[in-house]
Amino acid sequence: MKADFKIFGSLAAAAVFLHVTGIGCPLRWMTGIPCAGCGMSRAVLALLHGHVREAASMHPLVFLLPPAAAAWLLW
């Protein structure tokens, strides 16, 4: 149980640091190469607003998230 809080705290601290410094994606910041998840947040938001083409142009794998989330929630 304590380990879960340490992991969550570490991830939360890293997310806050990345947000405050404006780095965003650490891989892209360090190498200049976008990671596999770059654009996924914007694509999900576009999909939630019903902008399917825009979501697909931002990240084509966005359509795998709804079935994956449903499977995870129902597991």
The two most distant CA atoms of the chain are separated, in Å, by: 43
Structural contact between residues 62 and 43, judged by C-beta atoms closer than 8 angstroms: yes
- Give the Cα-Cα-Cα angle 19, 4, 71 (nearest 5 degrees): 85
Query: What is the value of pTM for the model shown?
Result: 0.57
pLDDT digits (tens, 9 = 90+) for 35-75: 877 888 888 889 989 999 999 998 889 999 889 989 988 98
pLDDT digits (tens, 9 = 90+) for 16-35: 888 888 887 888 888 888 78
Q: Which pLDDT score is estimated for 57?
A: 92
Q: Which pLDDT score is estimated for 35?
A: 80
- Give the Cα-Cα-Cα angle 41, 1, 74 (nearest 5 degrees): 50
